[in-house]
Amino acid sequence: MIYKWTPDGKLSVYLDHSGYTGQDVWRVAFIQTNGKDRNDPLFEEFPMIGSNGLALDRQGRLIIATWAGRSIDRIENNGKRTVLADRYEGKRFGGTNDVVVKKDGSIYFTDGFGGLRLREKDPKKELDFGGVYMLRNGKVSRVITDIPNTNGLAFSPDEKYLYANGSRDKFVKRYEVQPDGTLVNGTMFIDISKDPTPGITDGLRVDSKGNLYETAAGGVWIISPEGKHLGTILTPELAANVEFGDADRKTLYIAARTSIYKIRVNTPGMP
């Protein structure tokens, strides 16, 4: 399910069944918890059957990484839902995770095994690997092969670089973007794996000065274009995704396990 929240505080359902649209929900998507201790009376666990990453293309259409739906979908201006990609070399994705759109309309997205109940060991698995893919002119190509647990994506302001993080391995790599959209020279941008604080590298966004806002250990890490950790926005619970909003794009919205948080920042985010 995708919710719509407006600045006046109104919350509504934008799209139901945004991820997995089948009937046998007890067989798909890995089991997640609300982050509480199992002995806590408020502890809950549930299958991640909904969608994951969201982005807008240059026409303002919503692009959805459907996660348990194992596809990249688009909501057309008339409300119709179009599946843009659900396979690579004829085999179904395992769980599309995050998605970003380049200025030329190319769509980059991550895929792993999160849409499968048993993940890597699930009998429904068709691809033996995860990775980052590019959808360009209707063709899907695999552009990152050296990150085993890909998750969040973001372009630098000039789109000369694409940042991709390693999820459970807690790092971010940076790749040079070629004229044809392919990626080369992947280098370690920042390694957070030695920080014992709970939190994986999950969602990330970039501001107009090129600083990264990366959900990670303890909250949201702010990282300079040179890969220096500038500081951390501490959050009350594990943070999963971030996005800049409001008219001036100076409000950082943080999606956490059970809540959405926001904080004003000095530098606007990239649209």
pLDDT tens by residue, 77-132: 999 999 999 999 999 999 999 999 999 999 999 999 989 999 999 999 999 999 99
What pLDDT shows up at residue 138? 94
Distance from C-alpha of 160 to C-alpha of 175, rounded to nearest angstrom: 8
Write the pLDDT tens digit of every residue in 140-165. Answer: 999 999 998 999 999 999 999 999 99
Separation CA 17–CA 9 (nearest Å): 23
Residue 271 — very low, low, confident or very high, per pLDDT cuts 50/70/90? confident
Distance, in Å, from the CA atom of 225 to the CA atom of 19, rounded to the nearest integer, reads 34
Residue 24 in this model has a pLDDT that exceeds 90: no
Structural domain boundaries in the chain: 2-145
* Sequence-distant (≥ 6) Cβ neighbours of residue 20 within 8 angstroms: 28, 29, 49, 50, 66, 67, 68, 69, 115
Global pTM?
A: 0.95
Residue 257 has pLDDT above 90, yes or no: no
Which class in CATH covers the domain with range 2-145?
Answer: mainly beta
CA distance 117 to 65: 17
